[in-house]
A and B are shown apart, each in its own frame.
Chain A
Amino acid sequence: MNKKVAYALWAIAFFVVIWSFQISQVSITALIEGYQYGIDLIKEMFPPNFKNFDTIVELLGETVAMGVWGTIIGTIISLPLGFLGARNLAPNKIVYVLINEFINILRSIPDIVYALIFVVSVAVGSLAGILAIIFATIGLLTKFYIESFESIDMKPIEAIKSTGSGYVYMLRHGIFEQALSLISNYTLYLLDHNIRIAMVLGLVGAGGIGMELYGELRYFNYDKVAAMLICILIILSLIDRVSNYAREIILHSSKHNHEYFKKTFLAILFLALGTVAIIYKPLELGSLIAGLPRVYETLAGFFPLDLGRIEEFGFLMLETIAMAIAATVMAIVFSLPLGFVLAKNIKVNTPTRVIVGEFVNFLRAMPDLLFAIILVSIVGLSPFAGVLAIALHVTGFLAKFYAETIESIDEKPIEALTSTGSSKLHILYHGYFKQIVPLFHSYNLYMLDRNVRASTTMGLVGAGGIGFELIMSIKLFEYQQTATIILLIIIVVSIISKVSSYFRKKLV
């Protein structure tokens, strides 16, 4: 790229960031003023009230079950879609394009928006939640499956064909054998992700513990809220850890040579989750299917679109984008020092690393909407609360990515720089920094993409952006406006997603 163009782009980026901070009302004063509220809130939270422990367990079970069922059904639908949508396996170009565009649209709609639609059209409760998770899962998982299938080596397939083997054998031994570890890895990741999503779907009435949590919050029963938050966090960190461990086993099977142990561990994991799913939420397949025609009816009510307030919505959409940018920048600032502390090849004493590691795990486990409902009571009903919430949650991911990147630094060029007699600081910049910056930017762009989606939902709890109008239009039965907003979200998210992925490909 031309130097002048690069400088111009940086200058524009700088002004966009300033603009984003202004629009999303990021303010240090709000934070300082909110400090006292924060302290009061924490005081009221302690000691946490575990009187309703049985109910909490019941609700947590239901929530986990929602995530498990959503993942199972989502997987069953995504597998064939992923197979047919992979460039190297698709029967023809039309199927390939149709599937890919379809899942792009599915993916651009935030999970909680699905939940809103299903709550309105099917019923309040966990069924709407499961449906929402299924749709969100198909969007993400099909994409991941497509990537897995596209990464397979076609040469062994030809070798199998050359033995005169039938199609089924070719499928089983040629294609699935190769893609299986990636597919299982992504499925486990989605399971973890879906259980986290299930925790917040209740905020819009789609079942699980989120509903109860939001209720207690509205009655200012902060001690009960605290009890629930603690339980949620314990479950989510537990699942995050187990899922990470299981994925490690699947992807690096040579590291864990005990085949028997591996299989037993995975079997127990699935058995346990399956049991929770069946005990706490037996799948009502009948009502699930019965609900679908009603979804169609509701969707029919979305049309024709009501474009009367499009200008107003457009402005709110800008605010939403600004929030995402501000949150991403903030997360980068938080994550940089944390990432360096976490990287195993940087000299840091062990207790510090363990504490920082746990803190980052906590941020990752806590859904951003849960951060948001707490932050609005601290910094007030403003986009700033949403920005902070997203920034905190995303720091959990970004710091981890940064650390992994720093760990993967290639030592060879460092030696070459040392051999020129260069000073330590120069080696730091020209050797280390130059290696990791393109990868950091790639993660940052990915996070920006994700954050735009997240910031469209912050308004549901009063934390800024278009989400507020979205939920209001549903509450007031203005479905044609709802449709306009959803369409706007789809368009904006798709554009940002395409731009971000274009630049990411250039960087890595």
Chain B
Amino acid sequence: MKIEIRNLSKKFGDQKVLDDINLTIKQGQKVAFIGLSGSGKTTLMRSINGFVTPDVGEIIVDGKKIDYRSKKEVKELRAKVAMVYQLFNLIERTTVLHNVLTGTLGKKRVLSESVAVGMGFFKKSDKKKAKDILEFVKLADKYDERVDSLSGGQKQRVAIARALMQEPKILLADEPTANLDIKTGKKILKLFSKINEKEHTTTITVIHQLELISEKYFDRVIGLSNGKLIFDGHPDELTHEILTSIYGDLESSEDDEEFGDE
């Protein structure tokens, strides 16, 4: 599924968060979105699954323009595009298995099955698949534990398992490592690479920790600043100058700027 983004612009109030973005992402690419907070990377990502409706421009997924007004079409799109979050967004007081099974909720079902799922009864085949995926993310033994008893890294793997239940062609990840330590963060990105290799899934990751941007995990980096696309290339091509243009002067911002009133 190719993603084509054409002339995309979006304003929140007076603030322009996306300014005429043009971009094509081929199936199976491993893309990182980088940029300062407020640079528009999350907004760009969220317009791919219809959480944000752009003001101008269009996104074409798999040759089909997203019609943001049609709820049905947006739902069908979302069923194919999975999402992973910074704060995991899990239901803490239920089991790992239930959380993973909720990944199938966008699937088309006949009425009787839909009613059963609405009452909390999933099909055996779904449960089997959920357990297989939990095996893949190495959480097979935790399936009937409550999510609130897990560590941060384990929670993120549950969230990834939920996303994999959708058998997504595209996997969006909004700062999936920001709440984890570097070591765990690397494991999560490695998992994304593994998913990418296995299913040829496109992965798009918004990421803040520069030390995690390497060709091991990504084959393309897209840099945004003030809503404009200012870098698009291989991780190797990220020079000090480019980083400065994206993040401003890194050294000075650490040393010279003082905290305002908090």
Q: Which residues of A contact B (CB under 8 A)?
A: 1, 410, 412-413, 415-423, 425-427, 429-431, 434-435, 437-439, 507-508
The segment from B62-70, B75-83, B206-214, B216-224 that touches chain A is: B75-83
Q: How far is the CB of A410 from chain B (nearest CB, A)?
A: 7
Contact of B105 among A1, A417, A439 (CB under 8 A): A417
Q: How far is the CB of A319 from chain B (nearest CB, A)?
A: 35
Other A-B contacts than A421-B106, A423-B114, A431-B91, 10 sampled, CB-CB below 8 A, are: A412-B88, A416-B83, A419-B83, A420-B78, A420-B104, A420-B105, A420-B162, A421-B105, A430-B98, A434-B98
Would A430 and B102 count as touching, CB distance under 8 A?
A: yes
Give the interface size class of chain B.
Answer: 35 or more
Please, which residues of chain B bring their CB within 8 A of the CB of A435?
91-94
Would B92 and A410 count as touching, CB distance under 8 A?
A: yes
Q: Which of A412, A435, A437 has the most CB of B within 10 A?
A: A412
Interface 0/1 of B27-43, CB less than 8 Å to A? 00000000000000000
Would B89 and A415 count as touching, CB distance under 8 A?
A: yes
Given that A419-B51, A420-B106, A421-B79 are known contacts, is A412 also in contact with B166, CB under 8 Å in the complex?
A: no
Given that A429-B118, A429-B119, A429-B120 are known contacts, is A423 also in contact with B105, CB under 8 Å in the complex?
A: yes
How far is B118's CA from A434's CA once the two chains are assembled, in angstroms? 11
Contact of A413 among B82, B91, B118 (CB under 8 A): B91
Please, which residues of chain A bring their CB within 8 A of the CB of B49?
419
Please, which residues of chain B bring their CB within 8 A of the CB of A439?
93
Given that A421-B106, A422-B106, A426-B117 are known contacts, is A416 also in contact with B79, CB under 8 Å in the complex?
A: no
Given that A420-B103, A429-B119 are known contacts, is A434 also in contact with B94, CB under 8 Å in the complex?
A: yes
Given that A426-B105, A434-B98 are known contacts, is A413 also in contact with B90, CB under 8 Å in the complex?
A: yes
Interface membership of B188, Cβ < 8 A: no
Q: Which residue of A lies closest to B81 (CB)?
A: A419
Q: Which residue of B lies closest to A415 (CB)?
A: B89
How far is B210's CA from A423's CA once the two chains are assembled, in angstroms? 38
Interface membership of B159, Cβ < 8 A: yes
Which 9 residue pairs across A and B have the least CB separation, nearest first?
Answer: A421-B106, A421-B78, A422-B105, A421-B79, A416-B89, A412-B89, A421-B75, A420-B106, A419-B83
Q: How far is the CB of B159 from chain A (nearest CB, A)?
A: 7
Q: Which residue of A lies closest to B75 (CB)?
A: A421
Would A419 and B82 count as touching, CB distance under 8 A?
A: yes
Interface membership of B231, Cβ < 8 A: no
How far is B165's CA from A422's CA once the two chains are assembled, in angstroms? 13
How far is B102's CA from A223's CA once the two chains are assembled, in angstroms? 59
Please, which residues of chain B bring their CB within 8 A of the CB of A419?
49, 51, 78, 81-83
Q: Which of B94, B105, B159, B166 has the most CB of A within 10 A?
A: B105
How far is B83's CA from A419's CA once the two chains are assembled, in angstroms? 7
Interface membership of B25, Cβ < 8 A: no
How far is B91's CA from A431's CA once the two chains are assembled, in angstroms? 7
Interface membership of B139, Cβ < 8 A: no
Would A418 and B78 count as touching, CB distance under 8 A?
A: yes
Within 8 A of A (CB), among B1-31: none
Interface 0/1 of B82-124, CB less than 8 Å to A? 1101011111111000100011111000000010011110000
Would A420 and B89 count as touching, CB distance under 8 A?
A: no
Q: Which residue of B lies closest to A442 (CB)?
A: B93
How far is B117's CA from A429's CA once the two chains are assembled, in angstroms? 9
How far is B162's CA from A431's CA once the two chains are assembled, in angstroms? 14
- Some 8 contacts from A to B, beta carbons below 8 A apart, are A419-B82, A420-B79, A421-B76, A427-B105, A430-B102, A430-B120, A431-B91, A437-B93
Q: Which residue of A lies closest to B105 (CB)?
A: A422
How far is B102's CA from A430's CA once the two chains are assembled, in angstroms? 7
Contact of B102 among A410, A412, A420, A438 (CB under 8 A): A420
Would B85 and A416 count as touching, CB distance under 8 A?
A: yes
How far is B51's CA from A429's CA once the two chains are assembled, in angstroms? 21
Would B93 and A412 count as touching, CB distance under 8 A?
A: no
How far is B51's CA from A412's CA once the two chains are assembled, in angstroms? 13
Please, which residues of chain A bring their CB within 8 A of the CB of B90?
413, 416
Please, which residues of chain A bring their CB within 8 A of the CB of B144?
1
Q: Which residue of A lies closest to B119 (CB)?
A: A429
Please, which residues of chain A bring their CB within 8 A of the CB of B94?
434-435, 438
Q: How far is the CB of B187 from chain A (nearest CB, A)?
A: 21
How far is B206's CA from A227's CA once the two chains are assembled, in angstroms? 67
Contact of A417 among B81, B102, B118 (CB under 8 A): B102
Q: Which of B49, B88, B94, B102 has the most CB of A within 10 A?
A: B102
Within 8 A of A (CB), among B140-193: 144, 159, 162, 166
